[in-house]
Amino acid sequence: TAELAQSVVAHEDAILQLVYSRDGAHIATSSVDKSVKIWNAATLTELRMEREPDWIMALAYAPDGKRVALGGFDGRVTWVEGQ
């Protein structure tokens, strides 16, 4: 059996997406609360938070890890800083 290593309450509501950066240093999450957060993966410290007009249904880090593409329920694609 596996032991829980670390846990954090990340959002005010359910998490829709979670992705790691290519180098494993950061995590991006999106939630039903219409926020996107960037985290330090080692410490689970929140580094950045962006409010969006609708749910973000898809997240993907750019190959260089500097930006995260957001795919919204409303059909929009936008970018935020990923570090």
63 torsion bin: left (phi>0), alpha (psi -120 to 50), beta (else): alpha
- Considering the entire predicted model, what is its pTM? 0.87
Q: Return the sign of the alpha-carbon dihedral for residues 70, 72, 77, 79.
A: negative
What phi and psi, each to the nearest 5 degrees, are found at residue 80?
Answer: -130, 160
Q: What does the alpha-carbon distance between residue 72 and residue 41 come to, in Å, rounded to a whole number? A: 24
Q: Read off the pLDDT of residues 18-66 as tens digits, 9 standing for 90 and up.
A: 999 999 999 999 999 999 999 999 999 999 999 999 999 999 999 999 9
Strand 45-51's sheet: what is its strand order?
Answer: 15-20, 26-31, 35-40, 45-51
